[in-house]
Amino acid sequence: MTDPPLVVARGLTKRFGDFVAVDGIDFEVERGEAFGLLGPNGAGKSSTMRMIATVSPPSAGTLQVLGHDPATDGPTIRAQLGVVPQQDNLDLELTVRDNLWVYGRYFDMPRATLRGRIDELLEFAQLGERANHMVEPLSGGMKRRLTIARALINEPVLLLLDEPTTGLDPQARHVLWDRLYRLRRAGTTLVITTHYMEEAEQLCDRLVVMDKGRVVAMGTPQALITEHSTREVLELRFGDDAEQAVAVGKIVDLADRLEELPDRVLLYTDDADRALGTVHDRGVRPDSALSRRSSLEDVFLRLTGRTLVDE
């Protein structure tokens, strides 16, 4: 027997007036996995997350979290949940340590237990030296780590991370990813929303691709790429639209699939270098050419006709 899933959604729907934010989605989150909700802004990821977090009642469909119904057992579920919201909501008027303290007290943790737990978490979040500093002047990366540490205070079974690294610089992002790896290895189940395909590839065992409130694909990052894209991609940039249009006419047969974006042309092929050789042989001279492996970005483009990150 395998463990029952920690989250089960069937036909899950969220409406705000006439607007349908989440449009009848199905998914399951298994114990111990890192599960991703990938999609652009407005895809319905955060609304889904808030329903799982039991702070937004579903409009239709069924949802089970940790074996309970969020509508009736919110407090029981939340007692075993860690929540990292999209926007940090730390108490800026308190110190780093006091932020952990008051949050732990909301969980009714005994003071003695809480003291030890806070020291562990300060170390985990690499904030030990800042323990007695106010939160306000901390860097974005530090605040984010503190928010994650706070979400771990109750040793949650399931940790929900809504856009955990949005707005962080690359270095802070990597520090944070490293912390999340550790959690995953220690057996914490993660649900992560992101619109960074790199983050999804780095962190998620399995993910759903969302667009306009619907699930458009589900699987491991590698399986999604294999299924919906070619092995490699050749990216070509041209001086202007007219030049691009002429070039596309000459090379359209070189790839399994060709995507024209406003600023570049993508050729989907299993051998990008060979395709580039042929491009040159035909007298086409792009301003720049890049051959790379396919990513989830390409999967998303294929499935929705749009790019993930607004550029």
Question: Which chain residues interact with another protein by CB under 8 A?
Answer: 16, 53, 55-57, 74-76, 78-79, 81, 83, 85, 87-94, 98, 101-103, 105-108, 150, 154
Comparing CB distances to another protein, the nearer of 104 and 221 is 104
Q: How far apart are CA 37 and CA 208, in angstroms?
A: 5
Comparing CB distances to another protein, the nearer of 92 and 245 is 92
Give yes or no for a contact between 170 and 3, defined as CB atoms under 8 angstroms apart: no
Residues 67, 73, 75, 79, Cα dihedral to 10°: -10
Closest approach, Cβ 137 to another protein, in A, equals 15
Comparing CB distances to another protein, the nearer of 153 and 204 is 153
Closest approach, Cβ 78 to another protein, in A, equals 5
Q: Which residues neighbour 206 within 8 Å (Cβ) at sequence distance 6 or greater?
A: 30, 33, 34, 35, 36, 218, 219, 220
Comparing CB distances to another protein, the nearer of 59 and 291 is 59
Closest approach, Cβ 162 to another protein, in A, equals 11
Comparing CB distances to another protein, the nearer of 91 and 205 is 91
Closest approach, Cβ 142 to another protein, in A, equals 17
Closest approach, Cβ 93 to another protein, in A, equals 6
Give yes or no for a contact between 258 and 248, defined as CB atoms under 8 angstroms apart: yes
Closest approach, Cβ 139 to another protein, in A, equals 18
Comparing CB distances to another protein, the nearer of 17 and 305 is 17
Q: How far apart are CA 50 and CA 64, in angstroms?
A: 13
Give residue 132's identity as a one-letter amino acid code.
N
